[in-house]
Chains A and B, each alone.
Chain A
Amino acid sequence: MDAVLLLIGVISFVVGLRVFLTKNRVQRLLYLCCLNFAISALIALYIKSPMGGVVAAAYFIGSTLSSNAIAHTIGKVQRLEGRGEW
């Protein structure tokens, strides 16, 4: 356990808590983005081999793709409902 791991652990804990506490769906997506960064960094730091890098990259690109899809869907739904409130 060193400073880098401790810092990333504390940050992911704080952000993970805020994901549950916030009510706004869009803000939750922003916190999740930060959490994804932290998790892929932890994967790479724990699995200290080239395979760890591949796993971290795969997780990261996959999570970005799903965030993209969720945000896109929120936008589409709001357009369909035609309401100004987000």
Chain B
Amino acid sequence: MEVSWVELIKLLISTGVCWTNFVLIDTYFGLPRKPGVLGAEVIGKTLEKMGGDLNGGYFMGNIVCSPDASAGTLMAAIFYYLLGFKGGLIATLLVYIGNRLCNDPGYAGTFGTFSATVIIHLLSGFIEPRYFIGGMIMAIFTIQGLYHVGASKVLGYIGRKLGMI
């Protein structure tokens, strides 16, 4: 089994694209500002007690508790990979339903799915949609799986820089 450099570079680029897409859209729709549901508040306060950032913790809690733009990007990548551009639109509808099921009043997930579909469509000439699936997993791993305290600080910093908190 050999892994070529081209594949690795494609994976890295798609990771960057997915990370930027969902962090910017979620921050813009106010995920770090307030916890949408009670569960997100618990996660934010826990991370603050551990030495992290409260607003970054709210951001991570909102990702766990409701399908936001990160879930939307993954769904868009999966459905684009399987069904093409139409699939992205189906994914948008599914994420919209998921948002309503989780009592989330926001539209971050719906908008994030649509923008991810458009971005994947524009880049599909250079990077195949399957790399975006891997890239999104890599992106969510850097936030939810690597080092929570540090990730919450980075997310809080970005939210403050964009003036959304």
**B41 lies within 8 A of A75 (CB):** yes
B145 at the interface (CB under 8 A from A): yes
Chain A residues touching B, range: 35 or more
**A11 lies within 8 A of B7 (CB):** no
Find residues 19-58 in chain A having any chain B CB closer than 8 Å to their own CB.
24, 26-27, 29-31, 33-34, 37-38, 40-41, 44-45, 48-50, 52-53, 56-57
With A18-B145, A70-B39, A71-B65 given, is the CB distance from A41 to B131 under 8 Å?
A: no
Find residues 51-86 in chain A having any chain B CB closer than 8 Å to their own CB.
52-53, 56-57, 60-61, 64-65, 67-68, 70-72, 74-76, 78, 86
With A44-B82, A68-B37 given, is the CB distance from A74 to B74 under 8 Å?
A: no
Contacts of A61 in B (CB 8 A): 67, 94, 97-98, 101
A25 closest partner in B (C-beta)? B46
B116 at the interface (CB under 8 A from A): no
For the complex, what is the distance from the CA of A33 to the CA of B145, rounded to whole Å?
A: 9
**B145 lies within 8 A of A64 (CB):** no
For the complex, what is the distance from the CA of A33 to the CA of B67, rounded to whole Å?
A: 11
**A-contact 0/1 string along B78-97, CB 8 Å cutoff:** 11011100010011001001
**A4 lies within 8 A of B133 (CB):** yes
For the complex, what is the distance from the CA of A74 to the CA of B74, rounded to whole Å?
A: 27
**A74 lies within 8 A of B66 (CB):** no
**A-contact 0/1 string along B27-62, CB 8 Å cutoff:** 000000000011111110111011000000000110
Contacts of B41 in A (CB 8 A): 75
With A49-B82, A53-B82 given, is the CB distance from A75 to B42 under 8 Å?
A: yes
List the interface of chain A (C-beta within 8 A of B).
1-4, 6-8, 11, 14-15, 18, 24, 26-27, 29-31, 33-34, 37-38, 40-41, 44-45, 48-50, 52-53, 56-57, 60-61, 64-65, 67-68, 70-72, 74-76, 78, 86
Known: A8-B133, A64-B71. 7 other contacts (CB 8 A): A4-B133, A26-B46, A33-B64, A41-B78, A45-B130, A57-B91, A64-B102
Which 6 A-B residue pairings sit nearest by Cβ, starting from the closest?
Answer: A71-B39, A4-B134, A34-B145, A34-B144, A3-B7, A44-B78
